[in-house]
Amino acid sequence: MKKRLLLVVLVLALLPEALAASGEAENGMPIEIVLLSDIGLIIIAATVIGYTASILKQPLIPAYILAGILIGPMVSNLVTGAPFIYDFDVVVALSQLGITFLLFTVGMELDLSRLKDVGLVSAFVGIAQVAVVFWAGFLAAVAFGFGAQEALFLGLIVAFSSTMVVIKIISDRDEIETLHGRIMLGILLIQDVIVVIVMSLISAPGGLALDPVVDALVKGLGLFALAIVISRFIAPAAMRSLSKSVELIFLFALSLCFVFALASHSLGFSPAIGGFLAGLSLAVFPYNLEVSCRIKPLRDFFAIMFFVSLGMQIVVDDIGILLQLAAPIIVFSIIVLLLKPVVIALICLILGYERRTSFLAGVGLGQISEFSLILALPLALENPASPVFLITLVIAIVTISITPYLIKYGNSIYIPFSGMLEKLEKMSFIKKRHQLERFPEKKKLNDHIVFFGAHIMGMEVINHLQKSKEDFVVVDHNPEIIKKLINRGVHSLYGDAEDIEVLEKVNLKDAKLIISTIPNEDDSLLLIKTVRKVNPDAMVFVTAKTIDHAIKFYREGADYIFHLKLLGGKEAAKVLDESLGKGGKERILKRKIDEIGALERKRREEIIDRLDPTFLKQLDELKAQCEIKKSEELGEE
C-alpha cells in the first residue's frame, strides 16, 4: 500500500512538468501531434487519478471527472497561465463521438426480453416520473426568474437519468439481473424513448413551430422505420454471411453505428440518436455478445473521454457566475438527487413492489442524463449568454459523481428509511406484486443451511440438498431463479447478503451452515463478519475469485473457500457432505489446512520472482492458527 501511494505521489509530482510541456505547443503543430498530445495527457491524468481512487477504494467515475478538472482550463489558468490541452475543441468532439458510440453499446445491451415482467410498470413509472420531475424543474426555474424557454429546457434536463452511467455501474456490480436492476433498465428505456422524441423536436430546423415539428416527427419515424427494416431484413442476412468471422461482424456493427449516426445528423437530429437506434437494431441477435466483447475496450475508452471532458468544461471565468447561480444549482441538484428517487420509489411501492427493491430502483436513478448535455447545447448556441448549459454541466458533474456512492451504499442508506417505507408498504391500498419467498408453514427454520447464489454451480448443490433430509433455504437476487425454485417447492427468498431483513428472515443466528457461491469480495466479507457476530458456532463457506481473496476470507473467519475457477458443483456437493454429520467440523478443518498448503504452493510459484514475504507470512500464520485449533479440539475429545 505504501509503495503504491509513493508511486502515485511521484507521478503526481512529475505531472505538472508534463502538463506545462503540453501547454507549450505552437499553433503550427500538426493535427496528429495535437491528438497524440491531448489524448495522451487525458489518458495519463485519468490513469493517475483513477489509480489513486482505486487504492483508496473509491469509484472511478468521480476520479475521471476530477482528472478533467485538474487538466482543464480551470486549473491550467491558475498554475501556468496557459492551457494544458492544446485543442479543447478536439476533445469535446471526441467526447460527443463517445456519447454516440456509448449509446450504441447501450442500445445493443438492452435485451427487451429481460423486461417482460416489469415492462408495464417501468413504462408507467418512467412516464409518471418524467412528468412530475419535469414540472418540478420547470416551476423551480420560473421561480428563479428564468424565461419560459429556459425553464422548459431546465425541466427536461433534470427529468431524465443516465442510461450510460447506470448500466456501467450495475453491470460492474453484477446487478442487472436483480429485480431493482430490471426496473431501472425498464425506466431508462422509457426515458430514452421520450428523450429521443424530445431531442428530435428540439433539434428540428425551425424550432418548435408546427411545420418543423411535423417534419421532425416524420423524419424521426422514418429513421425508426429504417432501424426496424435493417433489424428484420438486412442485418440477419449480413450476420449469417459474416458469421465465420467475428472481426467482420464487429466491423459490420460499427459500420451500422456510423451509418445511423450520419443519417441522424443529415436529418437534423443528434448523431447520438442514430447510434442508439443502431444499437437497438442489433440487440436481438445472438452475435451481439461477441460484438459487445470486442467493443468493450472502445466503450471504456470513450467513457473515460466523456467523463474527463465533463470536468474540463469548467473554466476559471465561470467561478463568479457559479456563485451567482449557486441557489438554482443547489435546488435543481436536490430535485435530481432527492425528488426523482422519491417519486420513483413511491410509485414502485404503490404498484406493489417490495420496499427495498423500490428504494434501490429510485436511488440508482438520481442523476441527469448524458442526453441532458445534448439538450442544453442548442440553447447555448442560440443564446451564449444563457446560463442553462453551465447549470446543466455542474449538475451533471455533481449528480454523476455521487451516483456510484448511492448505488454502492444503497443498502446502508436504505436502513434509516426502512421503518417509514414499511408503514407505506402495509397500507391497505398497496398490494404486494411479487411474493418472491417461500418458507416452512408449520415450523421455524432451525439448525438449517442457508445458501446464497443459485447459479450453475449453486444449482448442482441445491439439487444435492433436495435429495438429502437437511432443512435449507436459498437466497438469490435473480427473481426468475427464485420463481423456479418456489415452483419446485424449495424454501427460497429473493434478496442478497447485504440485506439485513433477508438475514433476519432466514434466521441466520440459528443456522448450522452458511454457504455462498457468489464470487463478490465485499458481499463475502460482509457475510463472514455478520455470521461470526450473530452465530459464531456456524460454519461459513464462501467463494473466491483469486488467491488473495481466499486468504483474506480465511483471515476473517471463513471455514472453507470454494475457488471459482477450480471447483465445480459436484466437488462443492462433496465438501457439503463432509461438513454434515458427526465430525463435520474436524473434516472441514483438515480440508482447510490442506487448502492453505495448496494456496501456499501455488502462490510461491507465482511470486518467486517478486519476493513477496508478507503473503507467505500470512499463510504461515493461518496454518499455525489452524493447527492450534485442531489441537484444542483433539484435546477436548
Mean pLDDT across the chain: 76
Confidence at residue 5, expressed as pLDDT on a 0 to 100 scale = 45
Confidence at residue 363, expressed as pLDDT on a 0 to 100 scale = 92
Confidence at residue 224, expressed as pLDDT on a 0 to 100 scale = 79
Residue 543's beta-bridge partner residues?
562
CB distance 360 to 344 below 8 Å? no
Q: Which fold, 439-636?
A: Rossmann fold (3.40.50)
Return the closest-CA partner of residue 154 out of 362, 407, 390, 448: 390
pLDDT tens per residue, range 430-474: 555 556 665 555 567 777 888 887 766 667 777 777 777 778 888
Confidence at residue 623, expressed as pLDDT on a 0 to 100 scale = 65
Confidence at residue 8, expressed as pLDDT on a 0 to 100 scale = 44
Helix (H) and strand (E) counts in the chain: 29, 7
**Residue 113 has what DSSP assignment?**
G
Range 191-197 contact pairs with CB under 8 angstroms and sequence separation of 24 or more: 191/126, 191/130, 191/159, 191/160, 191/161, 191/163, 191/369, 192/163, 192/276, 192/371, 194/126, 194/127, 194/130, 194/160, 195/156, 195/160, 195/369, 195/371, 195/375, 196/220, 196/273, 196/276, 196/277
Mean of pLDDT values over 543-557: 81
Predicted model pTM:
0.74
- CB-CB neighbours of 551 under 10 Å: 20
**87-423 CATH pick, 1.20.1530.20, 3.30.1390.20, 3.40.50.2300, 3.20.20.120:** 1.20.1530.20
pLDDT tens per residue, range 302-348: 778 888 888 887 765 656 777 888 899 999 999 999 999 999 999 88
**Residue 81 has what DSSP assignment?**
S
Element of type H or E holding 514: strand 513-516
Return the closest-CA partner of residue 14 out of 45, 37, 46, 43: 45
Q: How far is residue 79's CA from residue 436's CA, in Å, rounded to a whole number?
A: 58
Among residues of the chain, what percentage have pLDDT more than 70?
A: 71
Helix (H, G, I), strand (E, B) or coil at 101: helix
Mean of pLDDT values over 148-168: 87
C-alpha cell at 449: 443451511
Domain borders along the chain are 87-423, 439-636
Range 246-252 contact pairs with CB under 8 angstroms and sequence separation of 24 or more: 246/290, 246/294, 247/294, 249/287, 249/290, 249/291, 250/290, 250/291, 250/294, 250/295
Q: Where do we find the cell 444449482? A: 459
Asked which of 31-35, 99-103, 119-123, 434-438 is least confident by mean pLDDT, the reply is 434-438
